[in-house]
Amino acid sequence: MFGKFSTLSYKTKIKIIFYSVAGLSTTLLFLVGIFFINHLSKEVNKTNQERVGALSLRVTDGFKEINDIIVELHKNNIIQENLLVNEENVLSNTERLELFQEIRTELDWILADKKSAFDIILLDNQLNKINYQTFQQISLDTKLINDMTVLELATSIDHVEGKWFFNDSLSEAYFVKNIYSTRIRETKKLATAIIPVSLRFIREFFEETGIYSKDDFVVLNYEGQYASSKIDMLDAVTAAIDKQDNNFSHNQSNTLRIGSHKYFIFTTEGKVGNHSFTFFYFLLNEEWTMKFISIIIIFVGGVLIFISLSLLLVDKYLNRLLDPLIHLSKTMKDFKEKKDFLSLRKNSLKIETADEVEDLYASFNQLIVDVEELIQKEYQAKLLSQEIEYKFLQAQLDPHFLYNTLNSINWMAIDKENYEISEMITNLSFLFRNKIDHMDDMIPIKEELDVINAYIKIQSTRFGNRLVYEEEIDESLIYEVIPKLTIQPLIENSIKYGVEKIKRPTQIKLTIKNLTGKILIEIKDDGPGIVEKIEFKKDSTGLGLSNIKNRLKLIYGDKASVKISSEPNIETKVILAIPSKN
C-alpha cells in the first residue's frame, strides 16, 4: 500500500492527505452536530414548557380577575348597602329603580379596568334582575351556556366558593357566585352574581406564541368539565384522557395517539382561590418532527456547503501551488523527448507567488533566454556567412558588362523596329539592376513596386492572357521602407507554382494596406496551391519563402510575421505584417 502511494504524483499525495483530514473533520463535525441537536431538543422542550407555563399563568390571571370582581362586590359599600336595603325593605318601583341605578353605576366602575369580564348579571334572592337596564332582553328562561338557563345557573350552586361553567369550544365561560353581606355580623345572602367571561385571550395567546401550528390545541378540565380550543377533537380527547385516567406527568411532555395522529402533551395546573384547573396542551408530533428535520437538514446542508467550499478553495490553492511545478516538470519532460526549443519557450510561464516557486521559474525562464540568445547568435552567424557568399557571387559578375550587353541588344531591337523585344530587354535590365545592386538593403515600397511591375511585364509577354495581375495599394504607404526584394519573390512564387502549372488564366492580386500601425502585404492567387511544394530554400531566381521569413525575423524580431494559407484552385494567400515606421 505504501509502495503504491510512493509512486503517486506529489499533487495526488497532498490531496489524499487533505481529503483524509477533511473526512475525519467532517465525522467529528457530525458527532458534534448530533450532540448539539440532542441538546437543542431538550432546550426546545424546556422552552415550550416555559411558554406553556406562561399561557397557564395568563389564563389563571384572567380567572383571578373574575375573583377580584367578586371581592370588590363584597367590599363596595354602596353595593352592599343597596343590596341590604333591597333585601330587608319593601320599596316602591321608583325607589327600587334609583337603588338599582346606583348599583349599576358601581358595577360599571368595577368593570372599567377588566379585560375578560364584559358584564355582570345580579339577581336578588327572589331572582329579580337588579341591573335590568342592560339585560332587559334576558329572562330567567334565557339560555346562556351549554343549554343552561339563567335560572339553572343561579340555582346550580349550593356553596360559598361559586362555580365555573365553560362552553365546549373554550371561547366563553360563566362564573356564578353568591354575594353575601359584609356589613352585618350575620352571614346573609344578598344576591347571586352571574359573570360572563370572554376566553378569546386563550386562543389569541395560544396562536401568538409562534411555536404552535394550526393543528395544535389546548384542553381545559374543570371538575369534569372539558373544553377544547379545537372543538372537533373534544370527544376524542376526552375519551383518551379518561382512558389514561389523567395519568400525565405535570410540567413534562407526554405523548398520546389520537386517531392517526401522535401528539406531544404538556400538562400544567392552575389554581384560583379554591378552584383548580388542569390544562392539556396538544402539539402535533409531526409538526415537531418536521421542525427537527428542518434543523437537521439545515445543519447537514450547512456542513456539506462548508465542506464543499473548503474542498473547492483548498483544491484551488493546491492547483495554484502545485500546477506551476507540474507544468515545469511536464515542459522539461517534453523537451527531453522532442528536443523542441520553440515549444519550450512557448510553454514557459510567468508567475508571481513571492516564494521559492517564483524563484525557480525566474531561473528557468532566464535559462531559456540565455539559450535563445546563443541560438540567435549562431543563427545570425549563419546568415552572415550566407550574405558574404551571396555578395561574393555578386562580385564575380561584372554588372557593367551585363548592362552594356543588354543595352546593345536593346538598340539592335530598336534598329529592326522590334519594339516588343526592346521593352522586354528594358524591363529585364531594370530588374537585374535592382536585384544585383547591393548598395541599399532597405528601399521604399514604391521602388519594390517598380521592380514587380518590370517583372510582371516580362512574364506577361511569356504567358499572355494566362497571367492576370491586379494591385490594390494604399498610396500613403508607398514611401514606407521595407527590406529589399521582400514582395517580388512572392509574386515570382505565385507565377512559378500557379501560372506555369495550369493552362487556364490565373489571377494574382497584390494588396498593401495599413492595419493598426502595421503594413499588411497580401499576395494571393487562385492557382493549384502550395500545400505540397512550399520551398524553404533559395531558388534560382531569388530569395525563397524561408529566407524572407528569416530576414524579417532578423530585422524586426517578433514584431513581424508571415502567414500562409492555401485552398487548391480557390485561394492561396501569403500575408506579411511589417511594423510601420511612420
Express each pLDDT in 319-355 by its tens digit: 777 777 777 777 777 666 666 666 666 666 666 666 6
Mean residue pLDDT of the chain comes to: 77
Residue 380 or 143, more confident? 143
pLDDT at 464 over 90: no
At residue 136, the pLDDT reads: 54
What nine digits make up the cell of 429?
535590365
- Helix locations, 520-559, DSSP H: 545-556
pLDDT at 32 over 60: yes
pLDDT at 438 over 60: no
Residue 141 or 390, more confident? 141
Provide the angle, in degrees to the nearest 10, between the axes of the packed helices 419-436 and 445-463.
140
At residue 542, the pLDDT reads: 41
Phi, psi of 164 (to 5 degrees): -100, 145
Residue 461, classed as helix, strand or coil, is helix
β-sheet with 467-473: strand ranges across: 467-473, 506-515, 518-525, 571-579, 561-567
pLDDT at 209 over 90: no
Residue 447, classed as helix, strand or coil, is helix
d(CA 443, CA 212): 95
At residue 176, the pLDDT reads: 92
Lowest mean pLDDT among 12-21, 288-297, 427-436, 518-527: 427-436
At residue 133, the pLDDT reads: 47
pLDDT at 389 over 60: no
Mean pLDDT of 251-260: 70
d(CA 90, CA 93): 10
Mean pLDDT of 288-292: 65
Residue 575 or 342, more confident? 575
Range of 46-55, 121-130, 397-406, 419-428 with top mean pLDDT? 121-130
d(CA 249, CA 377): 99
Phi, psi of 579 (to 5 degrees): -60, 140
Query: What distances in angstroms separate CA 79 from CA 112, 115, 181, one per listed residue?
Result: 16, 22, 10
First to last CA, the chain: 69
Burial (CB < 10 A; 0-12, 13-18, 19+), residue 93, is exposed
Contact 526, 569 (CB under 8 A): yes
Mean pLDDT of 441-445: 86
At residue 533, the pLDDT reads: 45
Query: What distances in angstroms separate CA 178 from CA 69, 133, 347, 435, one per listed residue?
Result: 12, 21, 105, 139
Contact 215, 224 (CB under 8 A): no
**Cα 301 from chain centroid (whole Å):** 15
Phi, psi of 102 (to 5 degrees): -65, -40
Q: Quickly state the pLDDT bin for 524 (edges 50, 70, 90).
A: very high
At residue 349, the pLDDT reads: 60
pLDDT at 508 over 90: yes
> In sequence order, what are the beta bridge partners of 91?
none
CB atoms within 10 A of CB 316: 10
Q: Quickly state the pLDDT bin for 384 (edges 50, 70, 90).
A: low
d(CA 351, CA 264): 64
Closest CA to 281 of 203, 208, 219: 219
Q: What is the 3-state secondary structure (H, E, C) of 352-396?
A: CCCCHHHHHHHHHHHHHHHHHHHHHHHHHHHHHHHHHHHHHHHHH
Phi, psi of 578 (to 5 degrees): -120, 135
Residue 567 or 159, more confident? 567
Mean pLDDT of 115-129: 84
Provide the angle, in degrees to the nearest 10, between the axes of the packed helices 356-396 and 285-338.
30
Mean pLDDT of 70-78: 89
pLDDT at 374 over 60: yes
d(CA 441, CA 521): 18
Range of 32-46, 79-93, 246-260, 283-297 with top mean pLDDT? 79-93
d(CA 151, CA 281): 34
